[in-house]
Amino acid sequence: MQGDPRTIQILFFSLLLLLSGCGLAEKDSNTEAEFSIDNYKGKWLILNYWAEWCAPCIKEIPELNTLDNDYSADLDVVAVNFDHIKGQALIDLAARMRIDFDVLEQDPADILRLSRPASLPTTYLFDRSGKLHAKLVGPQTIETLLKQTDIQ
């Protein structure tokens, strides 16, 4: 069976998230799924809040795709849909938006003790030890994000 590689990739990651309970460590009361920043220790974590109707969010997606692909040894990019879209609708939306990095179905804000963003896009940057390093509001570029890290 042949299919679009992007669709196959999204389906694979969705299945992986489903089977791993999102790899999370604290309970999310809505889904019984768990999230843990510990899964990202040793790498920088870029947690990006976005929405389909947010033009600056759309503009930064290629930058985030490049970061996730070119710097995967040092960082992970993970997105959270601001509108709480879930399931197949989220998979389809991420494919339409050409998002190549992981998109979480459940918002980890409570677990990470983050306030819900007041504007979009908002990006939280966690250092290699899992501590919040920066909250960045507005569209980011590869340069603005890397400047916040120790990545050369």
Is the CB of residue 57 less than 8 Å from the CB of residue 50? Answer: yes
CATH of the domain at 24: 3.40.30.10
> What is the span of the domain harbouring residue 139?
5-147
152, part of any domain:
no
Local confidence band at 126 (pLDDT 50, 70, 90 cut-offs): very high
Sequence length of the chain is: 152
Please tell me whether the overall predicted TM-score, pTM, comes out greater than 0.85 for this model.
no
Q: What's the number of domains the chain is made of?
A: 1
Question: What are the pLDDT digits (tens) for 23-53?
Answer: 332 223 233 356 789 999 999 999 999 999 9
Q: How far apart are CA 11 and CA 2, in angstroms?
A: 14
Helices first, then strands: H and E counts in the chain: 5, 7
Question: What are the pLDDT digits (tens) for 80-104?
Answer: 999 999 999 999 999 999 999 999 9
Query: Vertex 43, ends 38 and 48: CA angle to 5°?
Result: 85
